Amino acid sequence: MTTITSATNTSQPPRWLGQRLKSLGESLTPSQLAANARQMLLPLLGILVFVGFWHLAAPQVDTSLGSFPGPAQVWEQAGQLWQEHANQRERADKFIAMQEERNARILADNPQAEVKIRNYPGAPTFPDQIITSLVTVLAGFMVATAIAVPLGIVVGLNQHFQAAVNPLIQVFKPVSPLAWLPLVTMVVSATYVSDDPMFEKSFLTSMITVTLCSLWPTLINTSVGVAAVNPDLLNVSRVLRLSFWTHVRKVVLPSSVPMIFTGLRVSLGIAWMVLIAAEMLAQSPGLGKFVWDEFQNGSSESLSRIMVAVLAIGFIGFVLDRMMLLIQRKVAWNE
C-alpha cells in the first residue's frame, strides 16, 4: 500500500515546484527538468515494462483453454464486455418501453386496471456485477464501521473492558472469510425469512461476511488511538471537568481520528478482498461470481475475461483507498 501511495504522490509535481515554474517562466534548470521527468516517467516506465514482460511471457504459458492471454486479448475482451453491457442496456430499455406501451393501452381501456412493470430478466453484465459488488462492500464496510468505532472507543477508554475483550479480538481477527461464510449463510437463511424481503439473502450473506472480516483493524486501531491520547490533554479535560460525552467528543475522538482512519483504510482494503472471495464461494451476485462463472464457462475467451476482472478489482481497490485518503485529509487535523 505504501509503495502505491508514494508512487502517486510523486507523480504530481509538489507545490513548491509549481511556484518555481511560475516565477521562472518556461526556463527550467536542467536538474529541475530531470526531477520533473523522473516523477512523470518512472511510473509510466514501470507499467510499460510490466506490460512488455506480460506480452512476451503470456504465450509461453499453455493451459487447457489455450495460452495465457496477453495484454492485447485482455484489452479486446474489455471492449467486448462493454459492448455486451451496451447491448443488454438497449434490450432492457426496449423491454421496459414495450411494457409501458402495453400498460398505457390497458389503462386507456380500463383506468382501474392494475399494471406492473417487470424488470428485464437478462443476466447481469460485467459493469452490473461491479456495481453490485461496490454496493455490497460499502454496506458491509459501513456496518463494520458502525460497530467497530464505538466499540473501539469503549475498549480504549476502559482498561478492564479491554482486558476482557482483547482475547476475543485476537482470536477472531485472523479468521478467514471462507470459514465464516457457511455459518453466515445458514444463519441468514434460517433467520431472515420474509415474504417481501428488502434485501436478497445472497446480498446479506456477503455483506455480513465482509463486516465480520473487516471490522477488526478499525476496532483495534480505534482502541489504540483512544488509549494513546496525550495524558496532558486528559488532565486538561479533568481540570475543566468535562462531562463524559464532552470528553469523548472534544478530546478523545478528535485525538484518535488519525488512528481511526488508518484502521478504516486497512478495513476497506480487507473488505474488498473478502467480498470477492465470498461472492465466488457463495455464488452471490458480484465480481466474484463473474470470475467463477467465467472459470466454469471455459471458453477460449474466459481467461482474458477473468484477467479483465482481476485488473478491474485491483483498480477499484486502489480507487477506494484513494477515496478514503481524501476523506481522511478533509477530516483529520494532522494532514
Partner 1 sequence: MSKTHLELTGVEMAFDTPKGPFVALDNINLKIQKGEFVSLIGHSGCGKSTVLNIVAGLLQATKGGCVLNGHEVNSPGPERAVVFQNHALMPWLTVYENVELAVQQVFRKSMNKQERRDWIHHNLELVNMAHAADKRPGEVSGGMAQRVGIARALAMKPSVLLMDEPFGALDALTRAHLQDSLMEIQQELNNTVIMITHDVDEAVLLSDRIIMMTNGPEATVGEDLYIDLPRPRNRVTLADNPEYVHYRQEVLRFLYEKQRKLEHISPRRSGKPETPEQEQSESRAARA
Residues that bind partner 1 (CB under 8 A): 230-236, 238-242, 246, 250-251, 254-255, 257, 333-334
Q: Of 13 and 254, which CB lies nearer to partner 1 in the complex structure?
A: 254
Q: Is 332 helix (H, G, I), strand (E, B) or coil?
A: coil
Minimum separation from the CB atom of position 321 to partner 1 (A): 24
Minimum separation from the CB atom of position 275 to partner 1 (A): 33
Q: Of 247 and 305, which CB lies nearer to partner 1 in the complex structure?
A: 247
Q: Of 201 and 250, which CB lies nearer to partner 1 in the complex structure?
A: 250
Q: Of 155 and 251, which CB lies nearer to partner 1 in the complex structure?
A: 251
- What interhelical angle do 201-227 and 253-282 show, nearest 10? 150
Give the C-alpha separation, 44 to 332, whole Å.
Answer: 31
Give the C-alpha separation, 261 to 325, whole Å.
Answer: 8
Give the C-alpha separation, 58 to 68, whole Å.
Answer: 5
Residues linked to residue 62 through DSSP beta bridges, in sequence order: 67
Give the C-alpha separation, 191 to 199, whole Å.
Answer: 13
Lookup result for grid cell 439473502: 201
21's CB contacts (< 8 A; 6+ apart) are: 13, 28
Give the C-alpha separation, 76 to 83, whole Å.
Answer: 11
Minimum separation from the CB atom of position 10 to partner 1 (A): 25
Give the C-alpha separation, 262 to 335, whole Å.
Answer: 12
Minimum separation from the CB atom of position 257 to partner 1 (A): 8
Q: Residue 44: how many CB atoms within 10 A of its CB?
A: 10
Minimum separation from the CB atom of position 229 to partner 1 (A): 10
Minimum separation from the CB atom of position 233 to partner 1 (A): 6
Residues linked to residue 63 through DSSP beta bridges, in sequence order: 66
Minimum separation from the CB atom of position 6 to partner 1 (A): 23
Q: Of 21 and 253, which CB lies nearer to partner 1 in the complex structure?
A: 253
Q: Of 121 and 231, which CB lies nearer to partner 1 in the complex structure?
A: 231
Q: Of 55 and 249, which CB lies nearer to partner 1 in the complex structure?
A: 249
Give the C-alpha separation, 232 to 79, whole Å.
Answer: 59
